[in-house]
Amino acid sequence: MTPGQRRWVFLVAGIGFVAFFLWGLSGLPGFGNYPGPYGPAILRVAVAQTRATGVVSAINFDYRGFDTVGEEFILFAAAAGVSIVLRRLRGEHERSALDQAADRHVPSTSDAVRMVALLFTGPVVVAGWWLASHAQTSPSGGFQGGVVLATAFVLIYLAGEFLVFKRFSPVTLTDVVEAVGAGGFAAVGLSAVLMGLPYLTNFLPLGQVPGAVSSSGTIALISFFVGLEVAAAFILIVGELLEQTLLIRRGGS
Amino acid sequence: MSLLTAAHTPYTVPLAMMDALQITILVLVAAGATAVVLIREPVRQVLALTVYGVLLAVLFLAFQAPDVTLSELTVGAVVLPVVLLLTLAKVRKREE
């Protein structure tokens, strides 16, 4: 195909795209005008029905809990995929990159970075845990809390070394925590089935006061499990990538 | 509880100011996205992407989605850059 013909193909396709795009835009509701009945309806009943003032969490972990189970297992599968693709193959042995160039001077992490990372680790753990345990009363939740918790382990790596990171997050323990988190969510749903209720029905006592941390029944419990799963999944992924970067793998004979 | 219905959303700042904030942040996000595409050096691109992630987080906050803000901050400004920088380090080590 000559450049001239190519240009024509692009022009026709481009004009067609722009036309359909503008046509689609013209059919959209005005900015900020949500026309559906679902949003206003759920905002009216959510707090009374679930005793959770974090309505986003009430939707994620209760009304649309089934969607969220799927999303959680997407992350679970992604972490499993990373572990499988980056696993140590049979006959491969690993050694630290430092062993190969022992005479080369490796610049150490600056004291400023270590100090800041060390200072932030504690508060980040508290913040992550707070976010994961307050889904029912604030716009947070297990996902956000879990990622923040995983960030604490990245800070541990920055403040110390790869080996310290490994000591704080041994793979077997992280695997177990991830499985407990993913399985716990599914198990909460199955518990409802065992009681003769639909899957993921909020079967726990809701509590009396909307906005209390102990209120909202299974919403808080599911958020806790999601927090565990997400934190462990991100620690696993970052750990695998660190291992890939910092260790040298050589195939055996 | 009626405060939670859409009709009574309590604005603590004048609407015009909110509009100005939203337009400003939309323009900044567009500029940030363009910058990420135009920067070709990978490490700089990751840094631009991180700034873009923070801008997106502010955008979500300005459009009243604080829950998405939290997710975007942690994933877009922390985890994604870490993963990308580690990958770059790995690739460069092999090139040596």
Task: Measure CA A62 to chain center.
Answer: 18
* CA–CA distance, A225 with B7 (Å, rounded to integer): 35
Please provide the distance, in angstroms rounded to a whole number, between the alpha carbons at the two ends of chain B.
Answer: 63
Residue type, B3: L
Q: Which residue has the tokens 């419990």?
A: A221
Q: Do B5 and A43 touch (CB under 8 A)?
A: yes
Write out pLDDT tens, residues B35-93: 999 999 999 999 999 999 999 999 999 998 888 999 899 889 888 999 899 889 888 87
Say if residues A65 and A148 touch (Cβ distance below 8 Å).
no
Q: Tokens 């955008």 appear where?
A: B59
User: What are the tens digits of pLDDT across the range A119-151?
Assistant: 999 999 999 999 999 998 888 888 999 999 999
- Asked if the model's pLDDT at residue B9 lies above 60, the reply is no
pLDDT value at position B3?
43
> Which is higher by pLDDT, A162 or A114?
A114
ipTM over 0.85 threshold: no
Query: B96 to chain A, minimum CA–CA distance in Å?
Result: 13
Interface of A with B in 21-50 (CB under 8 A): 34, 39-40, 43-44, 46-48
Which residue reads 């840094």 in tokens? B47
Contact call for residues A42 and A63 (beta carbons, < 8 A): yes
Kindly report the backbone phi and psi dihedral angles of residue A204, in degrees, each rounded to the nearest multiple of 5, phi listed first. Answer: -80, 160
Residue A94: strand, helix, or coil: strand
Residues in A closer than 8 angstroms to B93, CB to CB, are: 97, 245
Q: What does the mean pLDDT of chain A come to?
A: 88
Nearest in space to A77 (alpha carbons), one of A242, A237, A248, A252: A237
Per-domain residue ranges of chain B: 13-95
**What is the pLDDT confidence band of residue A91, given thresholds at 50, 70 and 90?**
confident
Q: Which of A39, A55, A154 sits opposite B82 (nearest CB)?
A: A154
Taken in order B44, B50, B51, B56, the sign of the CA dihedral is positive
Q: Which residue has the tokens 């996205």?
A: B33
Q: Tell me what percent of the residues of chain B surpass a pLDDT of 90.
A: 50
Count how many Cα atoms sit within 13 Å of the Cα of residue B24 in the half-sphere of its side chain.
Answer: 9
Q: Which residues of B touch A (CB under 8 A)?
A: 1, 4-6, 66-67, 70-71, 74-75, 78-79, 82-83, 86-87, 89-90, 93
Distance between CA A61 and CA A71 in Å, rounded? 11
Residues of chain A numbered 189-208 and touching chain B (CB < 8 Å): none
Task: Please tell me the pTM assigned to this model.
Answer: 0.83
A242 lies within 8 A of chain B by CB: yes
Residues of B in contact with A151 (CB under 8 A): 74, 78-79
> Residue A48, exposed/middle/buried by CB under 10 A (0-12, 13-18, 19+)?
exposed
